[in-house]
Amino acid sequence: MNNHELSGTPEELQTKTEWDKLGEEVEFSESSEKSSESLDFVEENYGDKIDALVFNACFDGGDKTNPDHYVESILLDEALTNEEQIQMIDGLARTQKVDRVYSEKIKDFISEKMEHAPSKFLGELRDDPFMRKRHADAIAGRRGGDLKENERILYELFTYADEDFYESEEARNLLGDEDYLTNKYRSVFNQLEEKIQKGEAKVDRNGLLNNLSSALNSIADQNLATVEELIHDPYLRGKHFDILAAADLEGAVVSKELYDLWDVDSEFFDSYEYDSRLRQRAHENPDIYEKRGVEDIDEVINEALEKISMRDFEEVLNAYEKDLHRGDELLFTKLLPILGLDKNPPKFEYGKSGGGESGCYIRHKHRMVVCEELIRDKIIKTGGAPDTERKMLFGLIKRREVGAEAFEHMNVVAHELWHAHQWAGEGVSEEQRKKYQENFVYYMKSRNGYDAYRAQLIEREAWAFGGRVETIARFVRKEGELR
């Protein structure tokens, strides 16, 4: 029993006898009848919908047979204890049904809440058990703070139970609802406002509303997406995510209506929907996204490393002594045939990566970039010093010290060239190429978590290859100094 359910002083409570309690029960028989009436209403209108209510309240996405993919619902906290919710979820995951004991408790809970709801709200409920107009208004942003606590709980419970809402006329009408469109596509309207102010807009606000409504209804009519998908996800981010690989790798044709909506979704790759789908894909493809032992990586990169001779490393180091760019160029040239890129070399340039990294490979343009300033800054921030020049042969020739900066250049060049090898190099098996392509399209950025970024296949290999090239180069330099 919750503390707020107690009334009166402890002394008063202790003086009540069993006969007193019995008298109270008889005295409030009217309330009992009301409870029975409420329970009858719940049984009649929601008796077969408790499973849907629980599923929609607790399922968090993923595998429906896995209890870990469900959550305890705050909405059901008053109906069931945490232990009961856990047991109910376990049974739901195994059988896809809610145990009758918990189903009855939830019905009793709903009935009890109905007893305390205002008659106006109950009248609305009885006229339309699913309150679909209210539900549609809430989605469109028109529901104010007009619901009291018990009403809010009932509203949410009945909304969860309404399996057919997104098949209803009220839901379909939202696709042309000005409030809904303005609310869900706020960023698009903001962009339009900026263009209008600059005199760049080709359509006014009403025109955009009509275009959006027409596109959404056309998508629904063509069964390209359900009304539920359209309402929950105005940019169809889930479908957008799924089509990425097919469109990127196979040139799949996308409907104009879909493409137009995706085209204005400038926040897609930074969205919650994209990140959640990416995490799900990672869970389903552990061989691509989960870090394994080093053996699988070593087998792949050692085959390439064994083709680089000590003499090659010595020549590259000598080139770095003369100039960082000459060293980069020679290392790049040496690695091209080893990585199957001599017939299709990527374009090599210096500049900014756009993501704050020391280098990057841009697969669509088959171009790799080395970011010299970031490499130098990294060396300084880690307590090192940029490579310096020294005089040789009586001061007539200047040579660069092969230090941390040069070795970092080697690491970055090898790292980005390995990415080019993964995407376009010869000598890669079809099975491995497919994994690389999947990883390139569905790529874990460092903002998804640095560990997840480093664990994915294409980065595991590139970091290993770049690091090994640097390590061998340092060893060869040290051996040369000892001779």
Q: Model confidence over 382-423: pLDDT tens digits? A: 777 677 665 555 555 556 677 888 999 999 999 999 999 999
Report the pLDDT value the prediction gives residue 10, as an integer from 0 to 100. Answer: 38
What is the β-pairing status of strands 347-350 and 367-370? parallel
Residue range 24-33: average pLDDT?
39
Residue range 354-375: average pLDDT?
90
What is the β-pairing status of strands 367-370 and 359-362? antiparallel
Q: Indicate the range of 70-79, 149-158, 212-221, 294-303 predicted with least confidence.
A: 294-303
Residue 46 identity (one-letter amino acid): Y
Burial 121-157 (b: 16+ CB within 10 A, else e): bbebbeeebbbbebbbbbbbeeeeeebeebbebbbbb
DSSP 167: G
Q: Look at residue 431 and tell me whether its pLDDT is greater than 60.
A: yes
Torsions phi, psi for 106 (to 5 deg)? -70, -40
Instruction: Return the H-helix or E-strand segment holding 361.
Output: strand 359-362
Q: Model confidence over 432-446: pLDDT tens digits? A: 999 999 999 999 988
Q: Look at residue 187 and tell me whether its pLDDT is greater than 90.
A: no
Residue 104 identity (one-letter amino acid): E
Of 164, 355, 378, 331, nearest to 270 (Cα)?
Answer: 355
Residue range 321-349: average pLDDT?
95
Residue 360 identity (one-letter amino acid): C
Q: Look at residue 86 and tell me whether its pLDDT is greater than 80.
A: yes
Chain mean pLDDT for the chain? 84
- In this prediction, residue 204 has a pLDDT band, given cuts at 50, 70 and 90, of confident
- In this prediction, residue 12 has a pLDDT band, given cuts at 50, 70 and 90, of very low
Helix (H, G, I), strand (E, B), or coil: what is residue 201? coil
Q: Which residues contact 182 (CB under 8 A, 6 or more apart)?
A: 189, 209
- In this prediction, residue 14 has a pLDDT band, given cuts at 50, 70 and 90, of very low
Asked whether 139 and 180 are in contact (CB, 8 A), the reply is yes
Neighbours of 109 (CB within 10 A): 19
Tokens 């007193």 map to which residue? 20
Q: Which residues contact 117 (CB under 8 A, 6 or more apart)?
A: 125, 150, 151, 154
Cα atoms found within 13 Å of the Cα of residue 23, Cβ hemisphere only: 5
Q: Look at residue 134 and tell me whether its pLDDT is greater than 60.
A: yes
DSSP 23-88: HHHHHTHHHHHHHHHHHHHHHHHHTTTHHHHHHHHHB-SS-TT-GGGB---GGGTTTS-HHHHHHH
Q: CA-to-CA distance for 426 and 340, rounded, in angstroms?
A: 4
Q: Which of 80-84, 183-187, 205-209 has the highest mean pLDDT?
A: 80-84
> pLDDT > 90: what percent of the chain?
49
Q: Model confidence over 435-480: pLDDT tens digits? A: 999 999 999 988 878 899 999 999 999 999 999 999 999 999 887 6
Q: Look at residue 114 and tell me whether its pLDDT is greater than 60.
A: yes
